[in-house]
Chain A
Amino acid sequence: MAEVYVEEFMSPGCVGCPQVKEMLKILSEELSGEITVEEVDITIDTTRASQYGIMSVPALAINGELKFMGVPKKEELKKALQEELNKDE
């Protein structure tokens, strides 16, 4: 089955992060394929965030590639996830 691994970079006080989390939850139900979301708290895993060059949260890396900074539009995020799912097949 096609798989996508999403790293959601967030922090405890982040305003946009719950919105992104919700969006990912809805999309993982909408799209066929396995979408795993890992929440990366940048206040704990600082190294990972700095490797990607992340300066603000929320930020999303899909299959190890930084794709979004800020809250993405739902369609854009859906498109990016779909692209990755297609690649995997």
Chain B
Amino acid sequence: MAQDKKEKRTGIFICHCGKNIAGGVDIKVLLESSRKFEGVAFVTDNKFSCSEEGQIAIQDAIKDNGLNRIIVVACDPSLHLLTFQHCGKKLGIDPAFVDLIDIRKWTMFGSPNKVDEKQALVNSQRLIEQAAKRMRLKRIIPKVTVEVNPSVLVIGAGVAGLEASLDLADKGYKVHLVERLPTIGGKMALLYKVFPTNDCAPCILAPKTAYANIHPNINLLTNSEVTTVEGHIGNFSVVVNQKPRYVDDKKCTGCGLCVEKCPIKVVDNEYSRGIGERKAIYIPYDQAIPRKAVIDAQNCLYFQKGACRLCEKVCPAQAIDFKQEPKAIELKAGAIIAATGFDEYNPARKVEYGYKRYGNVITQFQLARLLDIDGPTKGRLLRPTDEREPYSIAMIQCVGSRDENANGYCSTVCCMYALKHAQIIKEMVLPDTQVYICYIDMRTTGKGFEEYYKRTRDIGVNFIHGRPAEVIENPKTKNLILKVEDSDIGEFFRLEADLVVLSCTTVPSKGTKQLAGLLGVNLDKNGFFKEVHPKLRPVETNVRGVYICGSAQGPKDIPDSIVQAKAAASCADSELRKGKIELPELVVKLSRSN
């Protein structure tokens, strides 16, 4: 507190940032006006304040003018505040007395907040005045140091969540892995094969799911949802609501006898994407982990009508427990990783393509389930209306993406999974079937992807450079007619196909918005979790201690999800391994009214 007694001498350093700031505001006027504020002892400008030279200039000014408070007028504090705090710290200035204020957002060409030079000057002057006043009156706020709980909550057990969990669990942290569905593995487990290697997706995923299931440091909570999050980095208090399975998972052996005997069949929207059926008591799929049965109370005869209980009678392990109640589980976590993944865009919104209106229009995800040899049709590709093999299949790319009326972004994966399915059909399932891919652009930018695209062309898949305007059904044959222009040859034509497959974009999974509310994390304009900086801090969020990875952050493929998961795990590790954390000085005491 010694500095409080001394005279308060503020130095203001206005950064040109090359031409980024100097090009959008009159620095000379800004310098003059800044001198007038009370407590300001020194004002200067630098070409690049963040450069080594710029920092030395700041330090020299501190020494020469006896400054004890500094304000750098430059860019966003999330980028460089630490730089200048370190710079001041070397000369004994408390980080609380170093401020970085952002005027570049108003002056830089290409910035979304760019204003004209006059307005930028007014805005900047106001901001500098506020900062000068704040600096003059501000006191050092006592630092709060908190002990860190060496555990992490991972929300979502898809491939990203699993990877982050395993990384952290191997490092020795306790990981609470929460999954909304009764089984882990997420969407990847349902993809059948993955590009560009055409590996079997469940086979390469299984080592991760199996290891997560038995890892001593992982507390796996399936069928569960996070309902409350409180606290801060190092000490989050979380409540997880575990929905009842109505099957004792300690007793259930996963033999499947109950599933066999259950009389109720319902459409499986979750694991077969509406293509196949499942029973009211079910094991999601063969390689499901944990392989335990679960009762769907909405459709179970006992829960709806009070009769049946066949599963209870046949279960050799007496695992059925109709009395199970939802459980509220309280957890402590030092950090949180949100990996809640994606959902497929609902193409029924694009009425011109006839999804849900015409029986033979399906999505790529449904096609993946149809092609899966362990899927609902055991790998037989039959079109839904008459269960015969299609002679021609047309795929429509960019459904719900790169579209002003739906989502502006590119799904990044729909080119590749269309190519993958085309290859599987031509090489493994129906070699004589004609496959057409109607595309706007083929975006195959990953490692080995362009070769994959070339191979798909070589095996005789037809590519049409144009997005179909409309799909019409022939009511007699149930065949589909696509009106499309091939812009390469400049001709309109009608293409008749037995089956139309829509390559839909990915959208944030259901509940992302709600979870963002619980965590206090911002969403971007498309509803994905928003990172602090899209290039430099892609897995951190506005809430310290909450990290994001996988498709919940934006559309991406599996390798990118893995990379991000590892990055998020590493970020959590670097905070937690300190053992103690200093909370930011800006927010210390909060009185809440109302």
Chain A positions within 8 Å of B, measured between CB atoms, are 3-5, 7, 36, 38, 40, 44-45, 47-48, 50-53, 55, 63-73, 76, 80, 87-88
Q: Given that A67-B589, A76-B591 are contacting pairs, would A47 and B134 also be in contact in the complex, using a CB cutoff of 8 Å?
A: no
One of B127, B520, B542, B589 near A65 (C-beta < 8 A): B589
6 closest Cβ contacts across the A-B interface?
Answer: A64-B138, A70-B594, A5-B137, A63-B137, A72-B593, A47-B102
Residue interface bits B348-367, CB-to-A below 8 A is 1, else 0 = 00000000000000000000
Residues of B within 8 A of A44 (CB): 123
Q: How far is the CA of A44 from the CA of B113 in the complex (A)?
A: 9
Q: What's the minimum C-beta distance from B68 to chain A, rounded to whole angstroms?
A: 15
Residues of B within 8 A of A87 (CB): 139
One of A7, A53, A71 near B134 (C-beta < 8 A): A7
One of B76, B130, B138, B590 near A40 (C-beta < 8 A): B130
Q: Is B469 an interface residue (CB 8 A)?
A: no
Closest residue on chain A to residue B76 by CB atoms: A47
Q: Is B133 an interface residue (CB 8 A)?
A: yes
Total count of chain B residues near the partner, CB < 8 A: 28
Q: Is the interface of A mostly helix, strand, loop or mixed?
A: mixed
Q: What's the minimum C-beta distance from B137 to chain A, rounded to whole angstroms?
A: 4
Q: Are B592 and A64 in contact (CB under 8 A)?
A: no
Q: Is B383 an interface residue (CB 8 A)?
A: no
Q: Are B587 and A53 in contact (CB under 8 A)?
A: yes
Q: Are B134 and A64 in contact (CB under 8 A)?
A: yes
If A36-B133, A38-B133 are given as contacts, then 8 extra A-B residue pairs at C-beta distance below 8 Å, sorted by A number, are A52-B587, A53-B587, A65-B586, A65-B589, A66-B586, A67-B591, A71-B594, A73-B593
Q: What's the minimum C-beta distance from A55 to chain B, rounded to whole angstroms?
A: 6
Residues of B within 8 A of A53 (CB): 542, 586-587
Q: Given that A51-B77, A52-B586, A53-B587 are contacting pairs, would A63 and B138 also be in contact in the complex, using a CB cutoff of 8 Å?
A: yes
Closest residue on chain B to residue A63 by CB atoms: B137
Closest residue on chain A to residue B520 by CB atoms: A55
One of B105, B586, B587, B594 near A47 (C-beta < 8 A): B105
Closest residue on chain A to residue B115 by CB atoms: A44
Closest residue on chain A to residue B102 by CB atoms: A47
Closest residue on chain B to residue A38 by CB atoms: B130
Q: Is B2 an interface residue (CB 8 A)?
A: no
Q: Are A71 and B586 in contact (CB under 8 A)?
A: no
19 interchain pairs, CB-CB under 8 A: A3-B137, A7-B134, A38-B130, A38-B133, A44-B123, A47-B101, A48-B130, A64-B96, A64-B137, A64-B586, A65-B141, A65-B589, A66-B587, A68-B592, A69-B590, A70-B592, A71-B594, A72-B591, A87-B139
Q: What's the minimum C-beta distance from A1 to chain B, rounded to whole angstroms?
A: 12
Q: How far is the CA of A3 from the CA of B38 in the complex (A)?
A: 13
Q: Are B133 and A5 in contact (CB under 8 A)?
A: yes
Q: How far is the CA of A5 from the CA of B77 in the complex (A)?
A: 21
Residues of A within 8 A of B144 (CB): none
Q: Is B428 an interface residue (CB 8 A)?
A: no
- Most chain B beta-carbon contacts within 10 A, residue among A47, A66, A80: A47
Q: How far is the CA of A69 from the CA of B520 in the complex (A)?
A: 15
Q: What's the minimum C-beta distance from A24 to chain B, rounded to whole angstroms?
A: 14
Residues of A within 8 A of B76 (CB): 47
Residues of A within 8 A of B593 (CB): 68-73, 76
Q: Is B29 an interface residue (CB 8 A)?
A: no
Q: Are B137 and A4 in contact (CB under 8 A)?
A: yes
Q: What's the minimum C-beta distance from A85 to chain B, rounded to whole angstroms?
A: 11
Q: Are A51 and B591 in contact (CB under 8 A)?
A: no
Residues of B within 8 A of A73 (CB): 593
Residues of A within 8 A of B139 (CB): 63-64, 87
Residues of A within 8 A of B542 (CB): 50, 53
